[in-house]
């Protein structure tokens, strides 16, 4: 059966705007957490690792803890994609966001009690319920004409960027007790890492409220789909057999592996090598997010009108790796700030054009299924490098970033060497 598209009178523009808002609020919640991660393993009141553990042991724990979320997401996201094709986007998004709120709240409590098993359980709950971004992407695909798909997926990148502007900035302040905020007030003494996760839980609840009361259902012609719990493994096998996508998915695996290592371990580099405080880390990621937003609002739409997705990826993927190398090879804060917009532009173009190319190859009837496969690939691209990244950081705090740059450059080499776009046939 043909996948559900909105009826002629459905509020397409409203659905599109609200999908962007849902993605923005979700990324805002994730952005809140970025400055907090070093606090869990470095010396200070928020340190959760037991006395006697080394900093290297803490890095290994951090990598395994970060990997718990995407590993569970690997299993759950394809199933949520199937359920969204069967029951609609809205109910699946609602369940996903409710799980996100519970996961964040439990993590905040685990930080206060320094309960490491509960830390893992909370991230696993959040991982099982993950899928809100991929389902929201399906909403956008539902209402986007083919000629506007790249532009609209570029706006997703802008939502990511906005979340990374506001989220890290606010999160770094929520994690810093006694911090003067522009001379207006001083943060309370009880602020800390747990405060940030509590705020993320409240954001998830806000996101859920917006969804329930405002988002129209965009997948109106639902059809019965057999829910296959082995779908994650089937997806990986299928990803290797679809013409065009069988090259694109490994390319995106390498790219997202590099980006995940960057977002998880670069703040450790800022704290250890450049002596950044949590507030400074938040300011840095806000600057990075601003660069991404400007890229997606000003650069991506203009390039999309003139250059194909595949042509952009040929230089954006390896370029992002080179930009990341430039960031890690200098200990001069001024050069780090100079190279950051370059990395952000190339990274933003790679993300938007990669997702748009996956969607364009899927065809109208397979958006949920193919984007679900894409989510599986991304989840593995997060889980595997994160599990290994902690061990790499224990050897040298810069090593995960060098590996990240290598992954991005290798993604470009694979894409240039082997990708040839077929017609959409996965319907």
What helix, strand, coil percent values describe the chain, rounded to 5? Answer: 80, 0, 20
Distance CA 29, CA 38 (A): 17
Catalogue all structural domains in the chain, each as residue range(s) with its CATH number: 12-418 (1.20.1250.20)
Distance CA 182, CA 184 (A): 5
Tokens (6 digits) for 183: 């001379």
Closest to 245 measured CA to CA, from 364, 354, 124: 354
H or E element: which one contains 93?
Answer: helix 89-113
- Radius of gyration for the chain, computed over Cα atoms and rounded to the nearest angstrom: 20
Closest to 35 measured CA to CA, from 143, 147, 164: 164
Distance CA 320, CA 347 (A): 5
Distance CA 5, CA 364 (A): 9
Three-class secondary structure of residue 406 per DSSP: helix
Number of Cβ atoms within 10 Å of the Cβ of 298 = 11
Closest to 133 measured CA to CA, from 344, 315, 382, 340: 382
| CB contact set of 248 (below 8 Å; sequence gap of 6+) | 354, 357, 358, 361, 415, 419
Handedness of CA 327, 401, 137, 210 (dihedral sign): negative
- Residue 185 bridge partners (DSSP): 181
Number of Cβ atoms within 10 Å of the Cβ of 74 = 25
**Residue range 215-270, pLDDT digits in tens:** 778 776 655 555 666 666 776 776 667 667 888 989 999 999 999 999 889 988 99
Three-class secondary structure of residue 180 per DSSP: strand
Per-residue pLDDT of the chain (427 residues; tens, 9 = 90+): 344 444 444 456 677 877 888 788 778 877 887 788 778 887 778 888 888 888 889 999 999 988 888 888 887 777 777 777 778 888 888 888 899 899 999 999 999 999 999 999 998 998 888 767 777 777 887 777 777 776 777 777 677 777 778 888 888 899 889 988 878 889 999 999 999 999 989 988 988 898 888 877 877 665 555 566 666 677 677 666 766 788 898 999 999 999 999 988 998 899 888 888 888 888 898 888 888 778 777 887 788 788 888 899 999 999 999 999 999 999 999 999 999 999 988 988 898 888 888 877 766 566 666 766 777 788 888 889 989 999 999 999 999 999 999 999 999 999 999 887 655 544 4
């Amino acid at each position: 059966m043909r996948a559900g598209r909105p009826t002629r009178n459905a509020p397409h523009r409203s659905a599109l705007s609200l999908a962007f808002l849902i993605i923005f609020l979700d990324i805002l919640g994730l952005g809140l957490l970025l400055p907090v991660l070093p606090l869990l393993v470095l010396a200070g009141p928020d340190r959760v690792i037991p006395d006697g553990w080394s900093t290297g042991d803490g890095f290994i724990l951090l990598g395994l803890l970060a990997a718990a979320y995407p590993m569970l997401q690997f299993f759950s996201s394809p199933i949520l994609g199937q359920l969204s094709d069967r029951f609609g986007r809205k109910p699946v998004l609602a369940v996903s966001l409710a799980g996100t709120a519970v996961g964040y709240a439990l993590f905040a409590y685990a930080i206060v009690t320094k309960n490491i098993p509960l830390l893992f359980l909370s991230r696993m709950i959040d991982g099982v319920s993950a899928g809100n971004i991929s389902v929201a992407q399906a909403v956008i695909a539902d209402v986007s004409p083919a000629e506007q798909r790249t532009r609209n997926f570029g706006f997703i990148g802008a939502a990511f960027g906005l979340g990374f502007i506001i989220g890290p900035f606010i999160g770094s302040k929520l994690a810093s007790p006694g911090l003067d905020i522009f001379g207006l007030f001083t943060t309370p003494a009880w602020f800390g890492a747990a405060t940030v996760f509590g705020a993320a839980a409240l954001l998830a609840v806000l996101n859920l409220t917006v969804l329930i009361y405002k988002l129209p259902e965009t997948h109106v012609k639902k059809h019965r789909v057999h829910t296959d719990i082995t779908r994650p493994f089937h997806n990986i096998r299928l990803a290797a057999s679809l013409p065009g996508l069988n090259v694109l998915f490994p390319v995106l695996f390498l790219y997202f592996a590099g980006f995940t290592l960057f977002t998880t371990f670069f703040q450790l580099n800022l704290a250890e090598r450049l002596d950044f405080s949590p507030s400074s880390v938040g300011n840095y990621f806000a600057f990075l997010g601003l660069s991404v937003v400007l890229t997606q609002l000003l650069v991506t739409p203009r390039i999309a009108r003139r250059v194909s997705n595949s042509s952009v990826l040929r230089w954006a993927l390896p370029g992002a790796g080179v930009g990341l190398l430039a960031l890690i090879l200098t200990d001069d804060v001024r050069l780090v700030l100079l190279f950051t917009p370059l990395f952000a532009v190339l990274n933003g173009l790679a993300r938007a054009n990669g997702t748009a190319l996956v969607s364009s190859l899927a065809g109208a009837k397979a958006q949920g299924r193919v984007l679900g496969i894409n989510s599986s690939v991304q989840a593995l691209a997060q889980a595997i490098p994160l599990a290994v990244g902690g061990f790499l950081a224990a050897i040298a705090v810069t090593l995960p970033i060098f590996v990240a740059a290598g992954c991005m450059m290798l993604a470009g080499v694979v894409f240039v060497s082997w990708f040839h776009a077929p017609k959409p046939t996965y319907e």
